[in-house]
Amino acid sequence: MRKYLAVLALVGKLVMPAYAVDLMDIYEQAVENDPDFKNAYDVFQSNKENIAIARSVLYPQLSVTGSTGRNFQHIEARGQASPLIVTTEGTFNSYQWTAQVTQAILNVQAWMSVKQAKSGVKAAHATFNDAAQQLILRTSKAYFDVLLASDTLRFAEAKKRANKRQLDQAQQRFKVGLDAITSVYEAKAAYDQSVAEVIQAKNNRTNQRENLRKLTNHVYIQLSPLRNSRIPLIRPEPDNIDDWVESGLRQNFLLLAAKFNFQASRDNIRVQNAGHFPTVNIQSNTTDLHNLTGTGGGFFAPRRSLNSNLGVAVSIPVFQGGLVEANVRQAKFDYKAAGEQLEKTHRDVIVNSRIAFNTIIDGISKVKADRETVVSQRQSLESTEAQFQVGTRTMVDVVNAQQRLFNAQRELATNQYGLINAMLNLKYLAGSLNVNDLELVNSWLDTKRIYAYAPGSPKPGKMK
């Protein structure tokens, strides 16, 4: 058995599937592990119970109570034919139970509370749907923040290698007398700066991975990058900003939640006003009393007493110390606050939808320009290096060209990932963001599986 386990352990070391996870893998794990999303679900489930809680007052109420005790009774009585007072006393045990049934006939406040609870549950449902869409946005942003950090590190390492090569060349040229010592100093300064940039980029990548870990509670070695480091430049469909604004005003979940909260706060005013109204209930009570045989000379206690009654109880709240009036005033202020929040959310949807739409249109143009800039800066660097070799350019020119290429590459990566997030954000504001949109973005990634092998181990077939 031990030999068999040793073989399994060896196989585990030989072939380690270190495949890169993609965006959908991260999202599925975020759904299961993200505390914010799970909290939103639990809050929604909790709010759903408010309807049953409010309705419970309108349903029959049954209570049963019981008691037992040791009793002492002292009785003094004057006989009819004699002026003498006769005293009788004794102790006895007793127990009783009482059952009470109440059914509401008229309770305006309870009916208003049910209506308010329904509006509150609708608001909670919309809030949960918003949290589900927010999870898609947060997953996408965290994922592409890691990719951007990885790209930045890759660019910084490439710049560091180039600067190291330039430093070696400068030192060689100085040794043979082709360049002054200043070229070596300039190349050394550029190399030292690139070393610092690599350190910073590594630290940033680690931090972004930790941010991603907040969603899933997992650590990832490698994420699937963009295929060919490019994304398709897709304009919004429909390609009309007013259509997106209209969609957001109709179905944005954050706006729907604000509308339902506004309705619930208006219902709450009626609930509190109903505190002045009378309530009418049907009540039925049954009490069964049992007395056990007592002790004492001539003492007599009734053995059993059974009492039942059925009636109608009317309760009229006349004065409660100003409680109802204070609750009504508070409810009115809450209503005004909910109205202001609704107005703010309404404006946010309009403005943010327009901003998101324009961000996509501008982002497409920026990415196109960035791609051209990267090509131009790479050609400029190559030309500058060639001119440096023949002595018509200085080391400073080469370092500056290298820095411009690095900045252009980083700007392109930043704008591409920003464009993806802007596309998803526009759909979120319109209330139409769903998993299919995330799957579309995932199709832009290079999701091929990557393996790590121990030296000399056989390679299995590729996973599909």
From CA 86, how far away is CA 83, in angstroms rounded? 9
Q: Which of 430, 126, 427, 132 is nearest to 262 (CA)?
A: 126
pLDDT per position as a tens digit, 341-383: 999 999 999 999 999 999 999 999 999 999 999 999 999 988 9
What's the chain's average pLDDT?
Answer: 85
pLDDT higher for 268 or 6? 268
Task: Identify the pLDDT of residue 459.
Answer: 37
Q: Give percent above pLDDT 70 in the chain.
A: 88
Strand ranges (E), 173-291: 279-291
Mean pLDDT of 125-142: 96
pLDDT in the model for residue 221: 84
pLDDT value at 453 more than 60 = no
Q: How far is CA 253 from the centre of its chain?
A: 14
Banded pLDDT at 432 (limits 50, 70, 90) = very high
Question: Contact at 8 Å (CB) between 409 and 157?
Answer: no
**pLDDT tens per residue across span 36-87:** 999 999 999 999 999 999 999 999 999 999 988 888 877 777 766 666 776 7
Q: Identify the structural domains of the chain with CATH numbers, from first to last.
A: 16-59+107-276+322-453 (1.20.1600.10), 62-106+278-316 (no CATH)
Report whether 268 contacts 116 (CB < 8 A): yes
Q: Which of the residue ranges 52-61, 240-249, 299-308, 375-384 would you say has the lowest mean pLDDT?
A: 299-308
Q: What are the pLDDT digits (tens) for 3-39?
A: 433 433 333 333 334 457 899 999 999 999 999 999 9
Q: pLDDT per residue over 188-203, tens digit each?
A: 888 888 899 999 999 9
Confidence of residue 294 (pLDDT cuts 50, 70, 90): low
CA distances from 446 to 228, 253, 319 (A): 8, 33, 73
Angstrom distances, CA of residue 462 to CA of 19, 389, 451, 459: 11, 46, 9, 9
Task: Tell me the whole-structure pTM to 2 decimals.
Answer: 0.81
User: Which run of H or E residues covers position 52?
Assistant: helix 35-55
Q: pLDDT tens-digit profile of 81-127? A: 666 776 777 788 888 899 999 999 999 989 999 999 999 999 999 99
Decide if pLDDT at 167 tops 80: yes
Spatial separation of the C-alpha atoms in residues 342 and 264, rounded to whole Å: 12
Q: Does pLDDT of 270 surpass 80?
A: yes
Tell me, what's the pLDDT at 12?
Answer: 37
Question: Residue 456: its pLDDT value, please?
Answer: 39
Q: Where are the alpha helices (DSSP H) in 217-252?
A: 241-251
In terms of average pLDDT, the best of 119-123, 166-170, 289-293, 397-401 is 119-123
pLDDT at 207: 94
Tokens of 349: 């949807």
Sorting pLDDT into bands at 50, 70 and 90, what band is 264? Answer: very high
Residue at 27: amino acid letter = Y
Give the Cβ contact number of residue 402 at 10 Å: 22
What share of the chain in percent tops pLDDT 90? Answer: 56
Radius of gyration of the chain from its Cα atoms, rounded to whole angstroms = 40
Per-residue pLDDT at 440 exceeds 60: yes
Query: CA geometry: angle at 178 spanning 177 and 184, to 5°?
Result: 90
pLDDT at 451 over 60: no
pLDDT of residue 461: 34
**331 HSE (CA, 13 A, CB side):** 20
Q: Is 461 exposed, middle or buried (0-12, 13-18, 19+ CB in 10 A)?
A: exposed
**Contact 123/261 with Cβ under 8 angstroms?**
yes
Predicted local confidence at residue 338, as pLDDT:
95
User: Measured between alpha carbons, how far is 337 from 342 in angstroms, rounded to an integer?
Assistant: 9
Kindly report the number of other CB atoms within 10 A of residue 189's CB atom.
Answer: 15
Greater confidence, 118 or 397? 118
127 closest CA partner among 43, 50, 30, 234 = 43
Euclidean distance between CA atoms 59 and 55, whole angstroms = 7
Token couple for 97: 């139970």
Can you give the pLDDT at residue 295? 53
Strand partners, 142: none
Lookup result for tokens 């890169």: 20
